[in-house]
Structure 1
Amino acid sequence: MNRIIAVLLIALCSSFSVTAADKQELAEYAYYGFEPEIVTNYISNRKKLGYVRISVELMVKKPEQLVSLERHDPLLRAAIVEILGNQTEDKVKSLTGKEEIRRECYEKINQLLEQETGQPLVVNLLFTKYLYD
């Protein structure tokens, strides 16, 4: 019985040490936000122009990678504006469309960063604000 308790305690302690290591790894992630927010038009079904206003955060593994994102901010911002400007109203206004746009922006950002820096730096791209009319 003592042997079983000892094995359980060892297993429990080792699971806590893995959790602590995971937390340490997560603590190194950093975020880069585009300032000011991105505002652009999209293809509208109406006579009136449609617009979308978004806040974008880019997640990277290491805080020192933020310097590269800041250096390439204009290029990355222009790519996001171009992607948004080519969307239809239906896509901009639907939840699945929003996710498709987010994924397209994520892939394009990493493609551009790989061309410029030699590696895709962005782990995730988040829309923290997404307004449209």
Structure 2
Amino acid sequence: MLKYLLVISCLLIPLTSQSSNYAYYGFEPDIVTNYVAVRKNLGYVRLTVELMVPSESIDIVEHHSPLLRDAIIDIIGKQPEEKVKSIKGRSEIQLKCEEKVKALLVKETGQPLIKKLLFTQWLDN
């Protein structure tokens, strides 16, 4: 019995020591920006962006949020209409935004700080 308890406790220690509490940081207000449209001169998109962040880093991310918001707006503004309007294109844009935000945070803080960038709402015309 003691042998089994020892094995179970050894298995649980790495799980509890590696677990981290995450919080979500949302940009307020929603991001509204233009993109390159083919049929019209410009189209626009409104999106809600959430960052999955370790709880202890939320203040740091909030401090850098204007820089991160600008980077997201810049990326979306350069996207063609077909990418903005397709599910696959949105996934690519989301990944590009996540990579850019992580790179900016590494440059500013020395760590990527975010685990995931999520588009939780996406409206386009």
| CA RMSD of superposed structures (Å) | 2.6
Q: Which of 16, 22, 27 is the aligned partner of 1:34?
A: 27
Bigger Rg over Cα: 1
Matches within 5 A, 1:1-133: 10=4, 14=8, 18=12, 21=15, 25=19, 28-61=21-54, 63-133=55-125
Percent of paired sites with the same residue: 53
TM-score, reference length from structure 2: 0.86
Aligned partner of 1:3 in structure 2 is: none
Q: Deviations over 1:48-78 (max 9, x none)?
A: 52101110000112x1201111101110000
Q: Deviations over 1:77-121 (max 9, x none)?
A: 000000000000000011110000000000000000001001111
Task: Give unpaired runs (5+ residues) of structure 1.
Answer: 1-5
Q: Runs (4+) of structure 1 moved beyond 3 Å?
A: none
The count of corresponding residues between Structure 1 and Structure 2 is 123
User: What SS is found at the alignment partner of 1:122?
Assistant: coil
Task: Give unpaired runs (5+ residues) of structure 2.
Answer: none
